[in-house]
């Protein structure tokens, strides 16, 4: 009986010794995965990453370094969308290659319809093939009349939205939105630097005491 109890105690001690090691290994693995994920996100922001493997209606180059992305849901059977297309194309010419990018999530019935409309309207911006828009940040919360447009920063954070006949005016304001975002980022950086200095002072005071 004593021999059996002794054996059980040894097994229990061994199990408790192994469990912390397993937990440490699991935590290390999670930490490594998180570090790898952070590195990937640092190299490729959320919006470009979400568009990296998408199929586009026309062979155009996506601006992966824009600070603001205007994600635009539209289709060729929408009368407002068709009427606004020439102005959308005109505004895009002014923003192409700069700090803003326009991406259409086309919701036509098929790629042929989307391609025909894109060519006839001389659309030079990236147009995601119908049915391929899943995963692209589109935090739109407004009413339903087409078209819909939402502006997000490179990480997918919402900056604003518009629908229907308000879309062109919303897009035309892209320069101001870029400037406002730049100012906000600078302010955030200053606040973070200030907090870091304050924390350092507190740490230095604790060490001195």
Q: Per residue, what are the HEC states of the chain? A: CHHHHHHHHHHHHHHHHHHHHHHHHHHHHHHHHHHHHHHHHHHCCHHHHHHCCCCECCCCCCCCCCCEEEEEEECCCCHHHHHHHHHHHHHHHHHCCCCEEEEEEECCCCHHHHHHHHHHCCCCCCEECCCCCCCCCCCCCCCCCCCEEEEEECCCCEEEEEEHHHHHHHHHCHHHHHHHHHHHHHHHHHHHHHHHHHHHHHHHHHHHC
For residue 22, the model assigns a pLDDT of 42
Sequence ranges of the domains in the chain: 47-185
pLDDT tens-digit profile, the chain (209 residues): 444 444 444 433 344 344 444 443 444 444 444 433 333 334 455 899 999 899 999 999 999 999 999 999 999 999 999 999 999 999 999 999 899 999 999 999 999 999 999 999 999 999 999 999 999 999 999 998 999 999 999 999 999 999 999 999 999 999 999 999 999 888 877 778 778 777 877 777 777 76
Spelled out in words, what is the top-level CATH class assigned to the domain 47-185?
Answer: alpha beta
Residue 41 CB neighbours (<10 A): 12
For residue 92, the model assigns a pLDDT of 97
For residue 45, the model assigns a pLDDT of 59
For residue 29, the model assigns a pLDDT of 47
For residue 179, the model assigns a pLDDT of 95
Q: Which residues contact 162 (CB under 8 A, 6 or more apart)?
A: 142, 148, 149, 169, 170, 171
For residue 204, the model assigns a pLDDT of 74
């Amino acid at each position: 009986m004593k021999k059996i109890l002794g054996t059980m105690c040894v097994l229990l001690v061994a199990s408790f010794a192994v469990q912390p090691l397993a937990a440490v290994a699991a935590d290390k693995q999670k930490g490594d995965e998180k570090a790898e994920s952070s590195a990937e996100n640092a190299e490729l922001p959320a919006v470009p990453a979400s568009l990296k493997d998408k199929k586009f209606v026309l062979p155009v180059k996506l601006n992966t370094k824009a600070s603001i992305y205007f994600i635009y849901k539209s289709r060729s059977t929408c009368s407002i969308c068709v009427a606004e297309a020439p102005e959308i194309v005109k505004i895009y010419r002014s923003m192409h290659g700069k700090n803003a990018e326009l991406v259409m999530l086309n919701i036509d019935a098929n790629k042929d319809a989307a391609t025909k409309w894109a060519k006839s309207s001389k659309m030079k911006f990236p147009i995601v093939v119908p049915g391929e828009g899943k995963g692209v940040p589109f935090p739109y919360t407004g009413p339903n009349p087409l078209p819909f447009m939402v502006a997000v920063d490179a990480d997918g954070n919402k900056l604003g939205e518009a629908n229907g006949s308000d879309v062109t005016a919303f897009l035309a304001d892209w320069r101001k939105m870029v400037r406002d975002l730049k100012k906000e980022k600078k302010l955030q950086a200053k606040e973070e630097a200030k907090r870091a200095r304050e924390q350092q002072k507190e740490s230095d005071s604790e060490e001195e005491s």
